[in-house]
Structure 1
Amino acid sequence: MDRIASWLLAAGLALAPVAAAAQDGEGRLTGLKLSGDQPIQIESDRFEVDETRGVGIFTGNVSVVQGPTLLKSARMTVHYDRDAGSATTGSAAIQRLEVEGGVYVRSESQVATGERGTFDMQTEVLTLSGKEVVLTEGENVVVGCRLTVQMATGQAKLESCKGEGSGGRVRMLLTPGSENRQ
């Protein structure tokens, strides 16, 4: 399950590259590092497995920790490759993760929040979405409704909240010198 690290660390984004490219809504993310060598601890109120569908569902106060990265949500669905091991024991290859219900991701000094998120292991694409996706690093804040990250290339795109009362724009607050106060 160390591929969960890819999703977790992608969501704990370094905001400087996103901020630098906010005018066109796209940017290149740098500094993404995977912690595949560190153990992953998953806790929830309940865990169900459906081997016939290749699905594992964690519900209720889901908490996933790997190194300095923390993911919290109400529900996490893990889609496994049914032909490559057992979902019950965690030995199956993960195809896709889906989280929903107050998604919160913290990695070192960055925090990302949204209503739901997905990470496709084959394409290495992370998507975090909701009425308000908020990325913060210290005093700097970027707000939109859909964040898509191409992990292989480091390309990221934050889309506005068209029709959500925001005027259809990505919003950003940058505080000069804030990187020196962290």
Structure 2
Amino acid sequence: MRAFFIALCVACLFALPISAQTSIGFGGVSHDANQPIEVTSDSLSVDQTTGNAVFSGNVIVIQGDLRMAAGEVSVIYGTGDTQQIQQVLATGGVLLTRGQDAAEGAQAEYSVETGHVFLSGDVLVTQGRTTIAGDRLNIDLNTGNGTVEGRVRTILQPAGQ
């Protein structure tokens, strides 16, 4: 009877649905969104009516310990104050790094005001020997917490490996 009960418990455990969401840490410490944002690219175009800027070709964005590389980055300014950066939108194969952590995906949205990054499109997060893949990644740069959503895949490394 005891063996049957253990087998039943194990069967129930494997019958549970796999979560479509996994929490991760990203970067560890709080990010200072008030630091200047440095952008390097092959070209720049500016919309004179909105003041928004589009950087193209080998774009690198740096703000403190946050680094983003992409094919194209749009910088969106808040209304009324052309000095206040509201959002940074990146496309064309995005690589985001902070400390020892890295994430890549097809596009990214960085809300400077809230300190949140949303990365989507075949996301891959690398933290040391651990990799996590999914459809979307949400990161709160203020806390360093992140969530991978969608069809989440990872390989768990046993201790000593």
TM over 0.5: yes
Residues 102 and 121 of structure 1, relative CA distance in 2, 3 Å threshold: same
Structure 2 Cα separation of the partners of residues 170 and 104 of structure 1: 19
2:15 is the counterpart of 1:25: no
| Partner Cα distance (1:95, 1:75) in 2 | 17
- Seen in structure 2, the aligned counterparts of structure 1 residues 54 and 177 have a Cα distance that, compared at 3 Å, is farther
Structure 1 vs Structure 2: percent identity of aligned residues? 31
User: 1:61·1:75 contact (CA, 8 Å) conserved in 2?
Assistant: yes
> Relative to 1, partners in 2 of residues 1:35 and 1:104: Cα closer, same or farther, differing over 3 Å?
same
The answer to whether the 8 A contact 1:139-1:174 is kept is no
Shift of residue 99, structure 1, vs aligned partner: 0.2
> What TM-score do the two structures reach when normalised by structure 1?
0.65
Q: CA-to-partner distance for each residue in 1:21-80, whole Å, 9 max, x for gaps?
A: x95614374733214576543210011111312311100000123455431100000100
Higher mean C-alpha deviation, range 41-50 or range 115-124: 115-124
Aligned equivalents of 1:40, 1:100: Cα separation in 2:
18
TM-score for both structures, normalised by structure 2: 0.73
Higher strand share: 2
Tell me which residue corresponds to 1:77.
74
Contact 2:41/2:56 (8 A) holds in 1: yes
Count of aligned pairs between the two proteins? 143
SS at match of 1:119: strand
Amino acid corresponding to residue 100 of structure 2 in structure 1 = S
2: distance between equivalents of 1:121 and 1:68? 14
1:174 aligns with 2:156: yes
Closer, same or farther: CA 156–37 of 1 in aligned 2, 3 Å: closer
1:146 counterpart letter in structure 2: R
Change (3 A) 1:36 1:75: same
Q: How does 1:123-134 map to 2 (within 5 A)?
A: 123-130=114-121, 132-134=122-124
2:87 to 88, 96, 100: 96
Which of 120, 139, 143 does residue 133 from structure 2 map onto? 143
**AA matched with 1:98:** L
Residue 46 of structure 2: aligned partner: 49
Contact 1:148 1:156 in 2 (8 A): yes
Indicate yes or no: 2:104 matched with 1:113.
Answer: yes
Aligned to 2:59: 62
In 2, the alpha carbon distance for the partners of 1:123 and 1:107 equals 17
Q: CA RMSD in A?
A: 2.9
CA distances 1:117-148 after superposition (whole Å, capped 9, x unpaired): 00223444321000x10000121000001112
